[in-house]
Chain A
């Protein structure tokens, strides 16, 4: 048993996660400030962040590995690769949150700041940052869960014969699992459990405090009414923690309408900050491009031929993965809707289930999955000799994304005004009629705004599950066909170019899909289904 090591590693991982969350908040503020000050920057920044947010982190893995590990190498490279994955898991979300809340700073407050000649730093400090705090704190929980999900794949990974690792609980878990050191593994999992529970508690309190103190941003709140509806809103208040970016997204049109006309004349410091951030962004972009270019140049011509020849097969594999993703997301949706409806109408069950769901959600499934597989594989191989791998992939995907769907639906249900519930009761609608006519339309925008995080997390689960060497003893979990399997196998074989090529294809598909599909749905959601408009008050 290695209790000291486990505790240190847990602290290291938590430290890494929180540092990176902190970094993404700071950079989020800087970028958000830039984009409200400069139209030009905004027009580039906002679509870009949205696009990146909709790309599953895992698709970046090969590129990241190439850039950080093969170019920088050594412990620093491993550390940066791990950091980058975690950062990528949290940053887009936080950045969007920061931008939204900067954008929705009430105009009169902005005018006060100008009136008193606040200058950049004081305006930021006294106005924009406080205003963004409720939204950012309420996003922290899901950021934390997102980041944690990847620890066992980001802290340690194998390319060819090399295993790159950096110190942290994820690395230890992989090591204990590989060595079959069950008692240490359980110790490590317990340590994560404690960390998750403490963090959940702390964040819930923090979020409530933040809303109480800085809460201009309470558009989501509904008036209380007696009866079951009231119990619902009470529950919302008790666990109003991770409200995520939903209300932000939904009110984006409003935010855009509120756009302050004519940006105030930038001050000297403002210009300095602006160009500084530009320079940093440019530097990062250049470095990534350079890495990619290096990679492309280093690929011999014959290899290109084989990459192109493989492309149809790769697209097919991608299709298989999309099927898996949709199956997982669909199942998660069905379960979420049933459970969410049940909880919304049974406030007593709520108070108990909510924190449990939250804690379980933040617990990174990949860390305990091998244990689960070990316990069940003997049975499942016999029960489903042909489908058991798919079943495991499905389960991991489900574990990875269920929470997001559930939460989106849950928040949507919370936002249904009690008046609507009363109308449904009054007109004696059956369960199906309620679903079809009221609850699904009312929660639709919430499900849509959450769709990219849902899909991403489903991808993450599937990606990890499709190819998992030596998950139990010498047994490797591997599907018949799948893009993530292809990436995993090629990385394991040291064939980075192929892996990168698929990633590139995938990124293109995802961006196209994001632009055409998610966008249109979101617009529809915003136009037609915003429930808050239903109750006319004031």
Chain B
């Protein structure tokens, strides 16, 4: 069964009335393809962003007219060539950066500034070197009005969850890269966000650590106690994307637009050597290799 990606996103009409054309790999029924508006957690409409002009260089449009919808219990991936603006989109979604055009909505409410409802995990691992693993995680609870004991307990539980129960009082420099990234994950989960944004969370890990974390991350973020509704993952590793994502947005061009939306409905855990798996990867590869389109 071939993976068939829809390629309709460039000439989309009104975003709200649009029915996404999703590619299918498994036996995906027509209803599941339709995005149920009620299930939308996070949504952005017609997002455009330009970096402001700096002395000498003109303003730089990065992406244009981006629509992304993230539904409940979904792991949505954004892929695109380097420099396509994936990180910038993520920062728009989190409210760290204000788009020039378009809006971001979380549960129908516009996102105007960062909050612990949408937590970002960085590609470079941002743990504070002067805090132990436990204190790093506890930081997520400082703004919540929980008392010290409670915060300590929650933080410890989160570290247990990510498998760092034995390293609570280690400083980041005593931990490996993978372990540090797990501290960052624990910190993010401790904030009990509804959306988790992950910007290439595996890229600075060695292959073994990355593979291990990839294997765990899905069950970790969607564990029964988690408050998490959805995850957005940015990556340029296609295998990783097919391994983890329920749906993929492919960005390309300059300024970048969404050139494809692609559903991946393979059973988990996914076998990396399955033909359907490889077909999905091929499909994404094909998307990225299409000549860059100007809108």
Residues of chain A at the chain B interface (Cβ within 8 Å): 223, 225-227, 230, 234, 417, 419-420, 422-423, 425-430, 433, 437-438, 441-442, 528-531, 533-538
Contact = CB atoms under 8 A, between A and B. Distances in A.
Nearest to A532: B129
A534 B128 contact: yes
Contact of B94 (A426, A442, A533, A534): A426
Contacts of A429: 139, 142-143
B59 to A, nearest CB: 13
From A234, A430, A530, A533, residue with most partner B Cβ within 10 Å: A533
B124 A535 contact: yes
Nearest to B123: A537
B126 A530 contact: no
Contact of B96 (A223, A422, A530): A422
Contacts of A422: 91, 94, 96, 114, 120, 122, 126
Contacts of A537: 124-125, 204
Interface residues of B, number: 38
A223 B124 contact: yes
A420 B126 contact: yes
Given A422-B96, A422-B126, A427-B116, 15 more contacts: A226-B51, A226-B91, A230-B51, A234-B54, A420-B128, A422-B91, A423-B139, A425-B113, A426-B96, A426-B119, A426-B120, A427-B139, A528-B130, A535-B125, A536-B180
Given A534-B172, A536-B180, A427 B126 contact: no
Given A422-B96, A537-B204, A437 B139 contact: yes
16 contacts: A226-B87, A226-B88, A227-B91, A227-B97, A423-B187, A425-B96, A426-B116, A427-B116, A433-B142, A433-B143, A437-B142, A533-B129, A534-B127, A535-B126, A536-B125, A536-B181
A427 B139 CA distance: 8
A-B residue pairs, 3 tightest by C-beta: A419-B126, A428-B143, A425-B114
Interface in B130-152: 130-131, 139-140, 142-143
A530 B129 contact: yes
A422 B93 CA distance: 13
Given A234-B54, A427-B191, A226 B97 contact: yes
Contacts of B114: 422, 425-426, 428
B87 A225 contact: yes
A415 B96 CA distance: 19
Nearest to A437: B139
A230 to B, nearest CB: 8
Contact of A427 (B87, B129, B142, B172): B142
Contacts of B177: 536
Nearest to B128: A534
A411 B18 CA distance: 49
Given A227-B91, A422-B114, A437 B128 contact: yes
A226 B180 CA distance: 24
Nearest to B190: A427
Interface of B: 49, 51, 54, 87-88, 91, 94, 96-97, 113-116, 118-120, 122, 124-131, 139-140, 142-143, 171-173, 177, 180-181, 187, 191, 204
Contacts of B116: 426-428
Contacts of A420: 126, 128
Given A423-B126, A427-B116, A529-B129, A536 B96 contact: no
A231 B84 CA distance: 20
B210 to A, nearest CB: 13
A420 B120 CA distance: 11
A441 B130 contact: yes
A437 B97 CA distance: 24
Nearest to B114: A425
B143 A534 contact: no
B34 to A, nearest CB: 33
Contact of A419 (B88, B124, B191): B124
A417 B96 contact: no
A441 B128 contact: yes
A438 B128 contact: yes
A223 B131 CA distance: 23
A426 B91 CA distance: 11
A530 B129 CA distance: 7
Nearest to A229: B96
Contacts of B91: 225-227, 422
A530 B187 CA distance: 21
A227 B130 CA distance: 25
Contacts of A442: 130
B126 A528 contact: no
A78 to B, nearest CB: 47
Contacts of B127: 534, 536
Contacts of A225: 87, 91
B213 to A, nearest CB: 13
Contacts of B130: 441-442, 528-529
B129 A528 contact: yes
Contacts of B128: 420, 437-438, 441, 534
Contacts of A438: 128
B117 to A, nearest CB: 10
A430 B122 contact: no
Contacts of B131: 437
Given A226-B97, A227-B91, A529-B129, A417 B143 contact: no
Contacts of A433: 142-143
A442 B54 CA distance: 28
Contact of A536 (B124, B143, B171): B124
A226 B113 CA distance: 15
A430 B142 CA distance: 9
A432 B127 CA distance: 19
A250 to B, nearest CB: 12
A419 B129 contact: no
A528 B129 CA distance: 7
Contacts of B122: 419, 422-423, 535
Nearest to B177: A536
A306 B61 CA distance: 78
Contacts of B125: 535-537
B96 A227 contact: yes
B143 A430 contact: yes
B126 A417 contact: yes
From B114, B115, B173, B204, residue with most partner A Cβ within 10 Å: B114
Contacts of A534: 126-129, 172
A535 B187 CA distance: 15
From A417, A433, A441, A537, residue with most partner B Cβ within 10 Å: A537
Contacts of A423: 122, 126, 139, 187
Contacts of A437: 128, 131, 139, 142
